[in-house]
């Protein structure tokens, strides 16, 4: 899936959680991506983040950073 599509979808999810405040928006978005996106989609959005993360809303960026950090920890174990 193209990165632009993943960014659009992730930002839409972030907008849903935005009314719950910035902290909950990031946590809720990360949880949604973890539960409902397949591993290839998560890998794609993390790769996009690593390439600069253009277009990601701030709270969505935090959510993807959280996913990246979780993945790095899991890979190290």
73 pLDDT higher than 90: yes
Yes or no: say if 24 and 17 are a contact pair by the CB < 8 Å rule: yes
Instruction: Considering only CA atoms, give the Rg of the chain.
Output: 11
Structural domain boundaries, residue 27: 3-76
Structural domain total, the chain: 1
Residue showing tokens 């949880």: 31
pLDDT given at position 11: 97
Encode pLDDT of 2-59 as tens digits. Answer: 999 999 999 999 999 999 988 799 999 999 999 999 999 999 999 999 999 999 999 9
Give the pLDDT mean for 53-74.
Answer: 96
69 pLDDT higher than 90: yes
């Amino acid at each position: 899936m193209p990165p632009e599509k993943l960014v659009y979808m992730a930002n839409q999810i972030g907008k849903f959680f935005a009314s719950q405040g910035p902290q909950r928006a990031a946590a809720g978005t990360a949880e949604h991506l973890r539960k409902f996106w397949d591993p290839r989609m998560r890998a794609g959005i993390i790769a996009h983040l690593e390439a600069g993360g253009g277009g990601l809303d701030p709270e969505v960026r935090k959510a993807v950073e959280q996913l990246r950090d979780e993945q790095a920890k899991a890979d190290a174990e």
